[in-house]
Structure 1
Amino acid sequence: MQNTTLRHAARVDAGLVSIVGAAALGLTLVFFAGFANVTHDVAHDSRHAIAFPCH
């Protein structure tokens, strides 16, 4: 009986880790997509500041 309970607990833990990991990945992607324009602008201005052609 104890072995079955441990396997069930491990399955629940693995499922929870998967859900939390997927949520973290999704939030990270949304965060970076939201700031992609800011990141591009900073890189673009930096290239112009050092006279590096960027387009």
Structure 2
Amino acid sequence: MSINSIQAGQAHASAHARPVALKDKLVAALMAASLGAVLLFGAGFASMEALHNAAHDSRHSAGFPCH
């Protein structure tokens, strides 16, 4: 092996991403769930006719009652 290939291998090994902590995963999951709930219930309980019509088929396909 040449010195260049050893240095390239060491550079490649140090470029790996660090493992994601469980706390970071939970925070991301809770934020995504919160955003989803806000969007779902915001569209579900909106009284604007345009929003109702735009979200109508999506709500029915998700099983969310709107009538």
Structure with the higher fraction of residues in helix conformation = 1
Query: What's the TM-score once normalised by structure 1's chain length?
Result: 0.48
Task: Compute the TM-score of the two structures, normalised by the length of structure 2.
Answer: 0.43
Larger Rg: 2
- Which is bigger in relative contact order (C-alpha 8 A, separation at least 6)? 2
